[in-house]
Amino acid sequence: MSHLTSVTRSELENRSDARLWALIDYLTERNGCIDDPGLQKIWLTWRYDCQVQNGGHLQYFHNMDTTDVPKTISALLEVGAEKHAEILKSCFARSGAVNRVRSLEEYSEMAAERSFTEDSDYYALKPSMFDILQAFYAKDLESWVAVEA
């Protein structure tokens, strides 16, 4: 497999996580439209974590729908994020339909009624999703992300 993207040697020297950030940028540019199962797992878990970190599980269900939740739970388990998966399972079981709203005011009203108490548990999880992905995909990152001079 040829490299998908690259970082400079100085970027990698300054940030040990530069490869993962470069890969996330690559996947974001493609909106997760990739065939490789490993990359799909990274995309699903990263997208989930970003949405929850930015606004909780309600935001995740609102913005992403629930179509990919079973695949996301599976991906979380495969990368070793069991606690993350348990929380998603719990929230998903109670999520019901989350209708798209047309304004921030409507979202605020919905959030007042439907927020998930598990969000604070999720925020406290250690290691972080980023750290889990970095460790789980350490070898793959070397083949996916080249280091240039």
pLDDT at 73: 98
* pTM for the full predicted model: 0.89
pLDDT at 125: 96
Exposure string over 104-133, b if 16+ CB within 10 A, otherwise e: eeebeebbeebebebbeebeeeeeebbebb
Q: What is the distance in angstroms between the CA of the first residue and the CA of the last residue of the chain?
A: 21
Average pLDDT, the chain: 92
pLDDT at 1: 56
